[in-house]
Amino acid sequence: MSKIRGGNGNNVAQEPPKKLKKVTFWQQYRRKPLGMLGLCIVVVYVLAAIAAPIITQYDPTKDLFLADNLAAPLWMKNLSEKYKDAPVTISKTVDLDGWNVTEGADFSITKTTYDEEDFMLIDMPAASSSGEQDPMMEILKDIYTPEELAEMFGASAAAKTSFSMDFTFPYNYSPPNTFNFTFDYAVEGSSPEATTVARLLIISPSGKEYDIWGMDAYGDWPISYITVDGRDVPVKMRLGLGFFDDPSKIILSEKGDYKVKFMVETDSSTGAKIYITPVKINIPGLLHGILGTDHMGSDLWSQLIYGARISLLIGLTAAFISVFLGTTVGIISGYVGGAVDEVLMRFVDVLLAIPSLPILIVLSALLGTSVWNVVILVAMFSWMGTARLVRSQTLTLKERAFVEAAKASGATDGYVMVTHILPNVMPLVFSALVLRIPSAILTEASLSFLGLGDPRVPTWGRMLQNARGFGAFTVMAWWWLLPPGLALTFLSLAFVFIGNTVNEILNPRYRERS
């Protein structure tokens, strides 16, 4: 580094000629520790990008609600008191085999399908009169028809058939933010005036019963999609809670085995067929995976891994297009010279004078946000530096003997440019390419961060944007912010290391400039 005055430096640099053997690029490259570090980092990213589906089991954009929104990473339970007992997502579908029938075990309970969905079919027989009934009804039943009796004594007076089943699930965490049950439910074959009452209850380990859902069906009931969410107001009302109370905090405040009980009761004289799909129970976890979840309950780790694909793709493609453009313009401008050179270089000057991010913002808004628009826009506004560099190199090459010789022997300009100039500017172009990549990656990240990226693809810039926009700050979700930022940093640092090393080897004279 330091300049030794008086030419002693020459002595240091001069090796006996015999030692000067031709070394390949790779032989030189692998001796540079920073260059190798950069290369290793890039290899890791490339592997992550390729093996993304293996590294992470989730789709970053399609798999939503994997856990509660803004769930923390699993390892946070070791770091923070707040997450010590926090729940991980409990999600299971309980079909017929999972239920334990406690009443009406003698009914015909079968599995069936309807409209390509699995159902449990509970065939409730006609209401028998042997149940507990008003004694008056017994006396009067010979005089009146059952319909008339029902009218006189109300539904409760009629004969009833009941069925109930339950299943147990363990819950050993602190209360979640919500819980939900989903299933389809239908009643068929009931007499029109009959009432079929269904209930869903949660029974806590200490035996408290919470009636979270109920439906009174008069006659037949079409297939309806039932969803019971801890945050729903009807649930709160059923439980007698206030508007701002949180059922999940109350119901799931205990640790142990919870029971979910499904009950159905009908007074149909013709019996009733109860259709119910396997019940899906979901308690969104407050802890999830390696990096937690975003505001849509989507897996952040998978977004991070898939983000490598986009960053590499955009970085490489944009850099390639940009350097291709720059090289073409630079060679033509330098080689042809004259008015062409003047026009091209003024054009370069003008483009350089245009503030690139604002125009990228405006253009991407006008053209619409897609990955390819971003690539092309980033490339369009970044090739000018390369053009200048290549042009100046071309200018010196043009004067060299081999170019003169080629021209003298009648080669066309195009031929000379491609076969003589291009190979000689390649070292320059190559390092320009590598050094263009990080800036392309960062520009894309900035655009995504501003919300101008493709909304369909997961990028690190978008992760950062979401983190800012959807509350990562208020819950101090640094695990949402740090990984994409660091991923960007290391990737661009790696390319800077590689670029500088390549430059050092291929273009020692230009070292100072870049």
Partner 1 sequence: MGFRNYLLKRLGYALLVLFIILSLNFLLFRIMPGDAVSMIMDPKFDLATKEELRSQFGIDQPIGTQYIKYLKSLLSFDMGRSFNTRRLVWDELKERLPNTLTLFFASFITTAAVGISLGVFAAARRGTFAENFVTGAGLFAYAVPGFFIQLMLLMIFGYYWPILPIRGTMSAPPPPGAMAQFLDRLWHLILPAGSLMVISFGSWALYTRNTMLEALGQDYIMTARAKGLDKKTVLYKHALRSVLPPILTLIFMSLPGAVTGAVITETIFSWFGVGKYLIDAVMQQDYPAAQGAFYLIALSVIVSNLLADLAYGLVDPRIRVGGGAK
Partner 2 sequence: MAMLEVKDLTMYYKTLRGYVKAVDSVSFELEKGKALGLAGESGCGKSSMATTVLRLLPSNGNIMGGSVKMDGKELVSLSEEDFRKEIRWKRMSMVFQGAMNALNPVHRIGDQIMEAILAHENVSKQAAKDRMLNLLDMVGINPKRYNEYPHEFSGGMKQRVVIAMALACNPDIIIADEPTTALDVMVQAQVLTAMEGLRKKMGLGMILITHDLAVIAQTCDDVAIMYGGKIVEYGSAKDIYLKPRHPYTMGLVKAFPNIAAEKQKVRSIPGSPPNLLSPPEGCRFNPRCPMATDKCRTEEPPLVKSQKGEQKVACHRESEIEEGVDIWQ
Using DSSP, state whether 14 is helix, strand or coil: coil
Instruction: Give the total of residues touching partner 1 (CB under 8 A).
Output: 44
Distance from C-alpha of 292 to C-alpha of 209, rounded to nearest angstrom: 33
Counting contacts by CB under 8 A, is residue 316 touching partner 1? no
Counting contacts by CB under 8 A, is residue 128 touching partner 1? no
Counting contacts by CB under 8 A, is residue 488 touching partner 1? yes
Smallest gap from residue 438 Cβ to partner 2 (A): 29
Neighbours of 193 (CB within 10 A): 16
List 182's β-bridge partners, or say none: 227, 280
Counting contacts by CB under 8 A, is residue 482 touching partner 1? yes
- Choose the contact partner of 489 out of partner 1, partner 2, none; CB within 5 to 8 A by kind: partner 1
Counting contacts by CB under 8 A, is residue 319 touching partner 1? no
Q: Which is nearer to partner 1, 16 or 355 (CB)?
A: 355
Query: Which 3-state string (H, E, C) describes 377-393?
Result: HHHHCCCHHHHHHHHHH
Counting contacts by CB under 8 A, is residue 339 touching partner 1? no
Q: Of 62, 474, 508, 509, which lies in the binding site for partner 1, with binding defined by CB under 8 A?
A: 474
How many helices (H) does the chain have, and how many strands (E)? 19, 12
Distance from C-alpha of 46 to C-alpha of 116, rounded to nearest angstrom: 42
Smallest gap from residue 382 Cβ to partner 1 (A): 13
- Choose the contact partner of 147 out of partner 2, partner 1, none; CB within 5 to 8 A by kind: none
Q: CA distances (Å), 15 to each of 21, 26, 47, 441, in order? A: 11, 21, 41, 41
User: Under rule CB under 8 A, which residues in 402-461 are in contact with partner 1?
Assistant: 438, 442, 445-446, 449-452
Contact 195, 218 (CB under 8 A): yes
Smallest gap from residue 459 Cβ to partner 1 (A): 12
Q: Of 120, 279, 437, 464, which lies in the binding site for partner 1, with binding defined by CB under 8 A?
A: 464
Q: Which is nearer to partner 1, 20 or 366 (CB)?
A: 366
Distance from C-alpha of 159 to C-alpha of 419, rounded to nearest angstrom: 98
Neighbours of 16 (CB within 10 A): 6
Q: Which is nearer to partner 2, 10 or 113 (CB)?
A: 10
Contact 213, 226 (CB under 8 A): yes
Element (H, E) at 283: strand 279-283
End-to-end CA distance of the chain: 15
- Choose the contact partner of 359 out of partner 2, partner 1, none; CB within 5 to 8 A by kind: partner 1
The binding site for partner 1 (CB under 8 A) comprises 2-3, 5, 346, 349-350, 353-359, 361-363, 365-366, 438, 442, 445-446, 449-452, 464, 467-468, 472-474, 476, 478, 481-482, 484-485, 488-489, 492-493, 496, 512
